[in-house]
Amino acid sequence: MYPTVDEVRQAITTAFPGADVSNIHAEGRRVLGSFVWPEFREIDDPERNRLVTRRVRAKMGPRGFNLGVLVPLAPGETL
């Protein structure tokens, strides 16, 4: 079963309190997008991605494999 947008948003805001998840959306069966968390200002890109994997994807179990790209951003950063 694929994760829903609401489930992914909840997982992100639980793992990264205060994160702006308004850019998380569904494309087909995949949930993807970017989210902004102020604490990312002090963290480099590779570590941000490791945190997303550990805190969001891994916590969702096998359903985490069905997520699309989740891009972690600091305030003021854009894709």
Q: For residue 17, with 0-12 CB atoms within 10 Å meaning exposed, 13-18 middle and 19 or more buried, which class applies?
A: exposed
Q: Give the pLDDT of residue 30.
A: 92
Give the residue-averaged pLDDT of 14-23: 97
> Two tokens at 41?
């200002």
Quick one: which H or E segment has residue 72? strand 70-73
pTM of the model: 0.93
Q: Which residues contact 49 (CB under 8 A, 6 or more apart)?
A: 72
Q: Give the pLDDT of residue 65.
A: 84
Q: Which domains are seen in the chain, by residue range?
A: 5-73 (3.30.300.90)
Q: What is the pLDDT of residues 24-41, one digit of tens each?
A: 999 998 999 999 999 999
Q: Could you tell me where the DSSP H helices lie in 1-79?
A: 5-15, 45-52
Give the residue-averaged pLDDT of 69-73: 97
Please say whether the beta carbons of 37 and 13 come within 8 A: no
